[in-house]
Structure 1
Amino acid sequence: MAALFALAAALLLASQPIAALTPPIPCSEALALAAPGADQSWVDAATPPDACTAEVCTGPFEECDVDAPPTSALQLVFSDEFEEEGQGLAAGEGNPRWTAGNMWYSGTEDMEVYLPEQVTTQNGSLSLAIERTSPGSVWALSQQGDGTVWNVTDKGLKSGYVDSWNKACFTGGYVEARVQLPGEPDVPGFWPALWLMGNLGRAGHLQSTGGMWPYSYDECGGDEVGREFGAAGPIPQRFSACPDPPAGPDRARWGLHAGQGRGAPEIDLLEVKTGVSVNLPNRKTPRLPFTLLPLHVAPMQPAGTFWTVTNESGTFPGPGQHLPKRGHPEWLWTDLEFWKGPYATNEQNRPGDKMRDVAGAYAQLEPSFWSSYHTFGLHWAPGQHLRWFIDGNFVYEINSEALKEYSNGTYTVPPRLIPVEPMYLIMNLALSRSFGPVKLDDLTFPSQFTIDYVRVYQDPANVSVSCSPPDFPTEQYIACNRDLYLLTQEEQALVNATCVNTTSCRQEAHVRYIGGDLTAPDGNLLTAQVPSARDCCLACQQLAACGAYTFDQRLCYFKGATNWTREGSKGPTDGPLSGVVYDAGAAQPRRLTAPPPPPAPAPSPVPARPTSSSPPPAPLPAPAPSSGIMQRRSLLGSSSGGGALHSIRLAAAVAALALLLLL
């Protein structure tokens, strides 16, 4: 009898489908099968097998806007389920995916500072927590567009920011996040966001983003629009598609392609505004609370040209933009971005500001988004379209037709691009009156913005998970211009590459190097009066005996390679910046045995060391804060690309210093 039962069981098992007997394989193995050679390490082992692929309609809008659209199976190429408790996320802790920010975001005049301790992984999710502090009890650094670094201590609020800059970037695909929003839907103030930026700009570091953000442009010319706004207007594109002038940057030494326009565009997957709507049009339109779904782009199109079509019935999407027509839940109302830019004639036909255009929509959210998890998705087809989803429902599309050439008879702007740069992920929780009203006394502290997972899917035949892909390299430019991106010694670990073809500096803010000063034959310290820490770095590079420097109050103090010590200087506002020199290709700082630099120009007088009868130069005036604007990433920046010394007087001073050292 036992034998009969065994035979029956065997026959029953044999009749089952093979799939029922085969355990599902991990998503990393599924990626290896679908895309041999793809890097499996970006796929979290905790991602469930039923999430290894995503069915997405990737074709044109007309093909996808049907009841049963054709779909493509996209493969999971990056994920984080945040199941590992207590991940170390600060800059010096070596997390392979994420870095928690330690900064004040000055571009939007935030009311909080970001601290790594406010970003934690717990209970299977990532938590960004905002809470009150005693004024002056916490501090954070803030890089300005001219390279000065402020020390901000008096905000009384601390919150969380985390990104994957220069670690995990991707180009194209479908990205999805499952999140629960902070606070209450009807109390204005909290500003949670999840967004993407091109790797050539580090968000919140304004010297890195000046002339990079939010350019998505590969044409020569057409960027004159907005010049009438002066300093409040757009910063010229740092690397345009025009031929570089003879004295311009040498792109080859940074691994950049000649004649290629580069930038750091921005796409917001979600950017939530809470409160109660007032003064909206008298028609059925989304009400607060809602999320914004914008693409930020530069250069701006000319005055008198619009994203939209306006007639007596209202404002509608123009060519290349689409809102949902079918199948969305009754509560999920969407409409065009509601923001009147300087060239607009109404509040929807031309959103933007004096630096950029913003094409986008906003979608109403229901209260459950604040009490449970919901998904936000974006399908990004580089050069073709961006398509947003909420809980799987299509809510907005912009495609290349919307970014076509525009002309007003005076200015012509060639086509901008649906982003093609490698982009990284950013998640943050802010407070800023530049974004909307803040009822601080009505908000609940502490509050958390929680993220259950982040996943990225791509066509298995076109996997691109890299911050420096061959067609759009970033590695050498960042490695050779670290001072634009990194503010502390701990942050140096965020850039693994060595600068191969040029001398560079590794700099830290609010640190002074004591001792080790280079002196002239008369015993005075060797110093130079220079406009910025970047110029101090470049001057030190050209002195063979200079291995380090301190820049403080417009004076550059040259140091030897040894015999100095570090001293922290956490004073208010801007403080000293100090750095060490690395010769081209070197993995260690310059030593006294470093080869001499090329012959220098003829010498000129060297600024003397300050004495009691010769007071030091006045401190640099603090840069004026940016004007209040609606969108988060308004930037004050510099177009400096880190090339040759831009001051003839400075070059002559460096030559004089070199001559003195030889006497």
Structure 2
Amino acid sequence: MPAWHHDSSGNESAFEDTFTYVISRSKDSSIYDDEDLFTDIHPSYLRRSNQSRMSMTDEDNIVSQYVQPPSSPKLVHRRPTESNTPVFDRQGLQRRGTIMSDSGDSFDMISAYGSDQDSLFKYNDDPFRSHKPKWSAAGLASTVSSPSIPKHLTDKHVLPADYHSATLAGGQMDDFLETDREWDETALKLHQYWSLRGTVNVSVLILIILCVLMLFMGYPVLHEASQQKLRDTLKTPVDDQPKSLTGLRTSLIDPDTPPEALTSKNSRTNKTMRLVFSDEFNQDGRSFYPGEDPFWEAENLHYWQTENYEWYHPSAITTANGSLIITLSQHPLNNLFFRGGMLTTWNKFCFTGGKLEARLILPGRNNVSGLWPAVWTMGNLGRAGYGASTEGLWPYSYDSCDVGTLPNQTYLASQGGGPLAAETTGRYVEDFGPYLSYLPGQRLSRCTCLDSTEHPGPRHEDGTWVGRSAPEIDLIEALGNNGEGEHGQTSMSLQVAPFDAAYNVSDPSGLIATNGSTHASKLNDYTGAVFQQAVSAKVNTSDSAYTLTDNQFDTYAFEYNPGTSKDSYIKWFASNEEVFRIEAHALGPNKATEIGARPIPEEPMYLIMNLGISQSFNWINWDVLSEDWNNDPSNYRMHIDYVRVYQDEDKISEDSISCSPSKFPTAEYIEKHMEAYTNPLLTSWVGTPETGGYDHTFPPNVLLGQCK
């Protein structure tokens, strides 16, 4: 479009300024007639209106020079008041002929205000200058002449004169305003401001918001509520003791325990020992999923630490015919080919000192190897199968501040390294090199800095921390020996750290293996490796005490007195006969590795019973095992008739049967690090979450220069 400018005669057009004002005033009800309208526009108008009109031809020439229709009008609805409401552009001036065909039929021209004396725009001194578009329209009621434009130029682009013009003839203004009032006063119907697409969009948005809220707010609340509900089902509101549930005992001593089993004799002092815990498993159909039993819980995990081939699952454990039954079966589960069972009293029942006795039938045969049945105990600060909880605690039993608390049992290179025995007396050089230990160091040691807040306590009189750990005492770990006439055996052992040189105890005279009338025993040739020192004996089992032989029960037990004194010991029994003993002095200080005495475990110990299969324990006779499974999938079961715990009657106390005794507390520390004790996928205390670690550090150690 050509630029607007002043012509050589100085005449200026009032085209845009004048009609812009006309349009704005046409929207106001204060316009009464044409004369008032144009008088209001500008005083000079009256003078111009009396001048002689220019001819139609002259006006046509002017318009043809300066006025052109838009190339692509943009049309919108003004208001959808009536079905015949006109469609107009964003400036309210152009109209589509297909909808408003009367624009050409009724008014064959477009009008503009101007004269020879006026230019089309007045930029400098016009008080009514406007930025309205360069197209205007005037009605036939106007008192000024109207230059005409041929119909074919206006038919598709110009409003009718009675729609947005200087004046509306007759009552058309009132009709127009009345239509607006009807629109303003009419309530919109739902379909006029809502749509299916809008409904779907809003619904999806609301759904996304609800899902996000549920994920980050709802789920944590519901999960905690469900867990609290499980905990509450085992407690009464007044005494915090297990509730009396249908068929579920509430006392530590099973009411089904026969009277003659309520006491026993201490084999060393001949003092009376009283029963403090028992489970006779006489009620059939028990299950041990989390929250179902006040003392036992079946684990749901893979015991990766010993490279087991089975997945431990609660469904593998039940009671029947007066016994607890743990079944190992060819049942694929969680990408493993076997399903076994592991039952513990972790953080529910523990004992310190006394006697553990179990009567059971071993699975399989005495002369076929491959299965791994076990009954054992561990310190409550470590939860079996939860790698993060046991790292740096198992299998320590140590309360000295020396090199035995450090990683690999060696000093730092900057400290000169050594001791030599710790660097050179490892027995599995091809696999691990000459180093004695691959342990990460004792996490909760006596060397922990005095101001540490990451030690569960207590302290010694000198202010140093008591060394804490998760020691292990094994009642039985049974295995078969292949071949005709071979006997089954069980390993009865204490796992130890830190290690003696070459894994040989400091004083071998403290280890005694004895032969009973039924069971022959001998010290185990296997004494440990880089992750544990094993102090153990192999004891022959009864050939009849297997499910696939004579299916007879046999009794196994150990008795111990914690500490490092001359009265501290562990004894093992089979068929009520002593078969192996460890005296405390066997684990005294070791000069070669520069370590102190390893106490007979003083930590509160909990019970564990499991049946699994692993190449790391003994050779697996797959041919025979597979044939037996094919004959009967339930062939490999361990039956436990009862479990009983006794203590010297003069030593029984609240602490002696607690999982968090005052001298060896555990509750606060476990609560503080509950994730490490409840998430079996965490394999390390110090590892990053990406590698399956708990992402915590060991407390600082004074020997490593980490204290302030």
TM-score (norm 1): 0.57
SS of 1:368 mapped into structure 2: coil
Q: Kindly indicate which of the two structures has a greater share of residues assigned to helix.
A: 2
Which of 211, 228, 239 lines up with 2:444 in the alignment? 239
Question: CA contact under 8 A between 1:85 and 1:122: conserved in structure 2?
Answer: yes
In structure 1, what is the Cα distance between the partners aligned to 2:586 and 2:256?
A: 40
Describe the SS at the equivalent of 1:292: strand
Q: Distance in 1 between matches of 2:616 and 2:651?
A: 40
> Which secondary structure does the structure 2 equivalent of 1:41 belong to?
coil
Q: Who is 1:567 aligned against?
A: none
Other structure's SS at 1:213 match = coil
CA–CA separation in structure 2 for the residues paired with 1:535 and 1:106: 16
* Residue from 128, 136, 139 that aligns with 2:326: 128
RMSD, aligned CA: 3.0
Q: Which residue of 2 aligns with 1:478?
A: 670
**Which of the residues 650, 661, 664 maps onto 1:461?**
650
Q: Would the aligned equivalents of 1:334 and 1:364 in 2 still touch at CA under 8 Å?
A: yes
2: CA distance between counterparts of 1:212 and 1:622?
18
Q: Residue 300 of structure 2 is aligned with which of 102, 121, 137?
A: 102
After TM superposition, list the pairs within 5 Å mapping 1:27-38 onto structure 2: none
Runs of 5+ consecutive residues of structure 2 not aligned to the other structure: 1-248, 411-422, 424-431, 701-708
Matched, 1:156 2:340: no
Cα 1:300–1:255 change in 2 (3 A) is: closer
Aligned positions of 1:616-655 closer than 5 A: 620=690, 640-641=697-698
Measured in 2, the distance between the counterparts of 1:74 and 1:448 equals 32
Partner of 1:323: 513
Q: Which residue of 2 aligns with 1:432?
A: 614
Kindly indicate whether the alpha-carbon contact (under 8 Å) linking 1:111 and 1:157 is maintained by their aligned counterparts in 2. yes
Q: Is the 8 A contact 2:373 2:638 kept in 1?
A: yes
Residues 483 and 534 in structure 1, CA contact (< 8 A), matched pair in contact too: no
* SS of 2:573 mapped into structure 1: strand
Residue 209 of structure 1: CA displacement? 0.2
Query: Residue in 1 aligned with 2:492?
Result: 293
User: Shift of residue 232 of structure 1?
Assistant: 7.1
Q: 1:89 to 1:203 in 2, by over 3 A?
A: same
Code of the aligned partner of 2:295? R
CA contact (8 A) 1:378 1:386 kept: yes
Q: Which whole-Å deviations, capped at 9, do the CAs of 1:319-358 have from their partners, x for residues lacking one?
A: 2111226xx21x521100121xxxxxxxxxxx11112211
Residue 412 of structure 1, aligned match among 568, 574, 594: 594
**3-state SS, counterpart of residue 643 of structure 2:** strand
Where does residue 261 of structure 2 map in the other structure? 51
Matched letter for residue 321 of structure 1: L
Q: 2:523 aligns with which of 336, 340, 344?
A: 336
Instruction: Give the aligned partner of residue 77 of structure 2.
Output: none
Question: How far did residue 287 of structure 1 move?
Answer: 6.1
| Residue pairs, 1:476-555, within 5 angstroms | 476-487=668-679
Alignment match, 1:17: none
Q: 1:89·1:99 contact (CA, 8 Å) conserved in 2?
A: yes
Contact 2:289–2:314 (Cα < 8 Å) also in 1: yes
1:441 positional shift: 3.2
> Which runs of no fewer than 5 residues in structure 1 stay unpaired?
1-38, 60-70, 139-152, 279-285, 310-317, 340-350, 489-508, 511-530, 537-553, 555-619, 624-636, 644-663
Instruction: Answer with 47-56 or 222-231: which moved more.
Output: 222-231
Structural mapping, 1:198-347, within 5 Å: 198-223=379-404, 224=406, 226-227=409-410, 228=423, 233-244=438-449, 248-251=452-455, 254=456, 256-257=458-459, 259-276=465-482, 288-303=487-502, 306-307=504-505, 318-324=508-514, 328-329=516-517, 331-339=518-526
Q: State the Cα deviation string for residues 16-54 of structure 1 (Å, max 9, x = none).
A: xxxxxxxxxxxxxxxxxxxxxxx9921111100011101
What SS class does the counterpart of residue 407 from structure 1 fall into? coil
| CA distances 1:223-263 after superposition (whole Å, capped 9, x unpaired) | 155555689701210111124165x4443xx5654510000
Which deviations, in whole Å up to 9, do the C-alpha atoms of 1:507-536 show, x marking residues without a partner? xx79xxxxxxxxxxxxxxxxxxxx999999
Structure 1 distance, partners of 2:597, 2:486, is 33
**Kept in 2: contact 1:166–1:424 (CA 8 A):** yes
Matched position secondary structure for 1:367: coil
**2: distance between equivalents of 1:639 and 1:231?**
26
Q: What is the aligned counterpart of 1:361 among 529, 537, 542?
A: 537
Deviations 1:300-332 (A, max 9, x none): 1234x73388xxxxxxxx22111226xx21x52
Aligned length: 406
SS at match of 1:88: coil
SS at match of 1:412: coil
Contact 1:170 1:424 in 2 (8 A): yes
- 1:602-639 residue CA offsets vs partner (Å, 9 max, x unmatched): xxxxxxxxxxxxxxxxxx4689xxxxxxxxxxxxx998
C-alpha separation in 2, matches of 1:255 and 1:270: 31
* 1:74 maps to which of 273, 279, 291: 273
Structure 1's 376 and 415: CA in aligned 2 closer, same or farther, altered over 3 A?
same
Q: Counterparts of 1:421 and 1:364 in 2: how far apart (Å)? A: 30
**Once the 2 structures are TM-superposed, how far is the Cα of residue 294 of structure 1 from its aligned partner?**
0.8
Q: CA 1:420–1:534 in 2, change beyond 3 Å: closer, same or farther? A: closer
Distance, in Å, in 2 between the alignment partners of 1:112 and 1:49 is: 39
Instruction: After TM superposition, give the deviation of residue 401 of structure 1 in Å.
Output: 0.8
CA change 1:243–1:100 in 2 (3 A) is: closer
Q: What does the per-residue CA deviation read over 1:587-610, in whole Å, with 9 as the maximum and x for residues that have no partner?
A: xxxxxxxxxxxxxxxxxxxxxxxx
Pick closer, same or farther for the CA change 1:189–1:433 going to 2, 3 Å.
same
Secondary structure of the residue aligned to 1:366 is coil
In structure 1, C-alpha distance between the alignment counterparts of 2:443 and 2:685, rounded to whole Å: 19
Structure with the larger strand share: 1
The AA in structure 2 aligned to 1:49 is P
Over 3 Å counting, the alpha-carbon distance change for 1:287 and 1:255 in structure 2 is same
- Offset of residue 210 of structure 1: 0.2
Shift of 1:91: 1.3
Q: Distance in 1 between matches of 2:495 and 2:686?
A: 29
Task: Write out aligned runs for 1:171-190 (5 A).
Answer: 171-190=352-371
Give the SS at the match of 2:623: helix
Alignment partners' CA distance in 1, 2:274 and 2:250: 11
Q: How far apart are the structure 2 equivalents of 1:535 and 1:179? A: 40
The corresponding residue for 1:397 is 581
| Shift, 1:172, TM fit | 0.6
Residues 269-303 of structure 1: CA deviation (Å, up to 9, x unaligned): 0000112279xxxxxxx964200011001011234
Aligned to 1:520: none
Matching residue's letter, 2:267: C
Q: Tell me which residue corresponds to 1:448.
A: 637
- Within 5 Å, which residues of 2 pair with 1:85-96? 85-93=284-292, 95-96=293-294
Q: Deviations over 1:351-407 (max 9, x none)?
A: 111122111111112311112100001111112000000011110000111011111
SS in 2 for 1:402: helix
SS of corresponding position for 2:388: helix
- Which residue identity lines up with residue 580 of structure 2 in the other structure? Y
The change in CA–CA distance for 1:638 and 1:294 in structure 2 (over 3 A counts) is farther
Shift in CA distance, 54/236, structure 1 to aligned 2, threshold 3 Å: same
Task: Please tell me whether the aligned partners of residues 130 and 157 of structure 1 are also in contact (alpha carbons under 8 angstroms).
Answer: yes
Residue 42 of structure 1: aligned partner: 252
